[in-house]
Structure 1
Amino acid sequence: MYYALLIYEDEAVYGEERDSPLLQAMIARHEAFARDLGAARVGGAGLTGVASATTVRTTGGIKTVHDGPFAETKEQLGGFYLIEAPDLEAALAIARQVPLAANGAVEVRPLIEMPG
């Protein structure tokens, strides 16, 4: 079964600079984690900050485009892994190993398999 591991953290922890030491260290930790996952890792990526987000919202059947995610949260979606695991317990065991800088969460969501 496939699972998405959605990584939520306060992106302010890393600062504004792409080359901040904390961010570079976290990227290195994620590269090592991804290598350690081996064949269980189907895909994944880090995401740019919420300032670069664009949202397509549907209200009353009308679609509008907005800058930003428009979510009032203390944590932002910063990246994800797509993994294959035999069951939820195995996926949770992997999620517990996802590197986080400080406080944060890893949401584990099973994928709905779509016909080919």
Structure 2
Amino acid sequence: MAQYLVAIHHPDDYDPAIAEDEAMTRDIDVLNDAMVAAGVRIFVGGLLPARRAKALRAQPNGEVLVSDGPYLQTKEHVGGFWVLETADMEEALAWGRKAAIACRAPVEVRPFHS
């Protein structure tokens, strides 16, 4: 069994109060229940908007600079994720497809180092 990150991507201006309705919440709950029932879900977590992040960068003098906002300046950021343990990438992709439908958002599936 291998572990995979299944990450949901949201645009910078994503507002869950606007984008997420009862049907979406229900679909995500059903997906979570199915992952638990299948024994593949290791961890799940939703993230606050990227603007709430702190970026840390090591400096040549050994200090660490802390700044407001995400590390990367992009139009999309990870909005939430699952860590799954599945037999292979194909099974992880099957769960990723379900996540894309339930979350109504782009999904990235990436294996962890073994």
TM-score > 0.5, shorter chain as reference: yes
TM-score w.r.t. length of structure 2 = 0.79
Residues 1:77 and 1:32: Cα distance change in structure 2 (over 3 Å): same
Match of 1:49 in 2: 49
| Alpha-carbon distance, 1:59 to partner | 3.8
Structure 2 residues without counterparts, runs of 5 or longer: none
Structure 1 residues without counterparts, runs of 5 or longer: none
| Alpha-carbon distance, 1:24 to partner | 4.2
Q: d(CA) in 1 for partners of 2:56 and 2:26?
A: 33
Percent identity reads 29
Q: d(CA) in 2 for partners of 1:71 and 1:88?
A: 27
Is the partner of 1:95 in helix, strand or coil? helix
Aligned length: 107
Residues 1:55 and 1:28: Cα distance change in structure 2 (over 3 Å): farther
After superposition, residues 58-69 of structure 1 pair within 5 angstroms as 58-60=58-60, 61-69=62-70
Name the aligned partner's letter for residue 93 of structure 1.
Answer: A
Name the aligned partner's letter for residue 31 of structure 2.
Answer: F
In the TM superposition, what whole-angstrom CA distance separates every residue of 1:57-113 from its partner, at most 9, and x where no partner exists? Answer: 124354211111042222111000010110111111111110233xx4211111124
Check the 8 A contact 1:6/1:106 in 2, yes or no: yes
